[in-house]
Homo-oligomer: A and B are copies of this chain.
């Protein structure tokens, strides 16, 4: 049985036909929807054009013969009231106002204009915005992100900021996040963050909710909806404007009121929401929550072929709030049998580079080491590190590609056992520098990344990111209690 909000919002996320008012050659909406399944139910409105991107262009939404249930209004702010009235006349059920230049400017006449829009819409049409990007829903093809995945996924995103929503979808795609719905809600003069929270909480297609907000009109309702949602599925939140200066910036960005950092921290905590510190942490935590089991404790083991970093990364784990305990004696004994002594470190972190080269013998492989470590009762989760391609390349020589595949198969074998049989989370780190221009190096790293992604492991380009994401899993777990 569907909840009220699910029924009510059906035409917002899954409209049958969409009009873009103020369509142009380059607007995000037209661009995006021309490559989704919405293409054939997309209608473009622009009085100055006969056609656009091979489609007929209407002078007014009223000229369209088909029924339209959803409109994107992308015209100068001053024209919004008039065009919105036309949408109402046409029988459109929900409109997304992309246009900026309202209360967020801080100017009195712009606030008045925003109120005018509100009055026009009240009780006649549901509004998303203004000053936002609207809705991206791969299932229906409604979209504002030309580069977003067309496949459906399980992550629901609610963002006050449009750029944020767009980048979350685009960069999320590179990090193997797939979305059920992304919502950019801007100045929220009608539908607001709590409405979308209520919807996503009940949405069976959404398994994890990622939230970016800069302020709230109704703190009480927000808290209540956050709490309700967090009892149903993981909610990760980033609050922009938590500092004094940030809050000033937020008020000029979306016109939102912002409380003190402490207020927000306690609000999220009480609601059972995992609060993160920045954009990357939000992506990284969302990825982990969308595909990993939760750790039953703080004990992490790091398995690496790059010992120089294991010390720093142990520090990072502990600073993050996790632990890197010693292995039990049995584990140590077993590990000693398979890892050579020189230049390695039998212990946690497991700096065991020689086993990364052992892809062809029956025992003493990275798979064996991974399983051994994960069976240790002090260890509740693993971070498995792929690095040092240059050394692997040196040792494997011309057979590099084949041997890497063998290595990755062994790593996967161990990691799948740990996740699927033992039920402990495994975070994968495939180290890659943003500015690296070594194309071969990039190609191999991406090959390894994708191998792990194809088995639904969360993969990160830095150990720090893996560790922080793991800590978010742990925090979610402890909040459930």
Chain A residues with a Cβ under 8 A of chain B: 26, 31, 76-77, 99-101, 104-105, 107, 131, 146-147, 159, 161-167, 170-171, 174-175, 214, 238, 240-246, 248-250, 252-253, 277-280, 306-312, 314-319, 323-326, 341-343, 345-349, 351, 388, 390, 394-395, 432-438, 446, 449, 461-462, 464
- Assess whether B462 is in contact with A435, with CB atoms less than 8 Å apart: no
Q: Which residues of B contact A250 (CB under 8 A)?
A: 311
- Assess whether B26 is in contact with A395, with CB atoms less than 8 Å apart: yes
- Assess whether B434 is in contact with A249, with CB atoms less than 8 Å apart: no
Q: Which residues of B contact A449 (CB under 8 A)?
A: 435
Q: A146's closest neighbor in chain B, by CB?
A: B390
- Assess whether A345 is in contact with B315, with CB atoms less than 8 Å apart: no
Q: A395's closest neighbor in chain B, by CB?
A: B26
From B166, B246, B280, give the contact of A315 (CB < 8 A): B246
Given A101-B343, A432-B435, the answer on whether A310 and B249 have CB atoms closer than 8 Å is: yes
Given A161-B308, A161-B311, A246-B314, the answer on whether A101 and B342 have CB atoms closer than 8 Å is: yes
Q: Which residues of B contact A348 (CB under 8 A)?
A: 249
Chain B: minimal CB distance from A359 (Å): 17
Bound-state Cα–Cα, A162 to B178, Å: 39
Bound-state Cα–Cα, A170 to B170, Å: 29
- Assess whether A278 is in contact with B312, with CB atoms less than 8 Å apart: yes
Bound-state Cα–Cα, A433 to B388, Å: 20
Give 10 A-B contacts (CB < 8 Å), ordered by A residue. Answer: A26-B394, A100-B343, A101-B343, A161-B309, A167-B306, A245-B323, A253-B310, A253-B345, A280-B462, A434-B462
Bound-state Cα–Cα, A417 to B459, Å: 42
Chain B: minimal CB distance from A324 (Å): 4
Given A309-B164, A341-B105, A345-B252, the answer on whether A314 and B245 have CB atoms closer than 8 Å is: yes
Bound-state Cα–Cα, A346 to B76, Å: 19
Bound-state Cα–Cα, A107 to B105, Å: 68
Chain B: minimal CB distance from A80 (Å): 12
Q: Which residues of B contact A248 (CB under 8 A)?
A: 314, 326, 347
Chain B: minimal CB distance from A451 (Å): 14
Q: A175's closest neighbor in chain B, by CB?
A: B435
Q: Which residues of B contact A280 (CB under 8 A)?
A: 462, 464
Interface pairs A-B: 5 shortest CB-CB? A163-B308, A100-B343, A243-B318, A161-B308, A101-B342
- Assess whether A240 is in contact with B433, with CB atoms less than 8 Å apart: no
Centre residue among A31, A248, A432 by max chain B CB count within 10 A: A248
Bound-state Cα–Cα, A162 to B343, Å: 11
Given A318-B246, A324-B249, the answer on whether A238 and B434 have CB atoms closer than 8 Å is: no
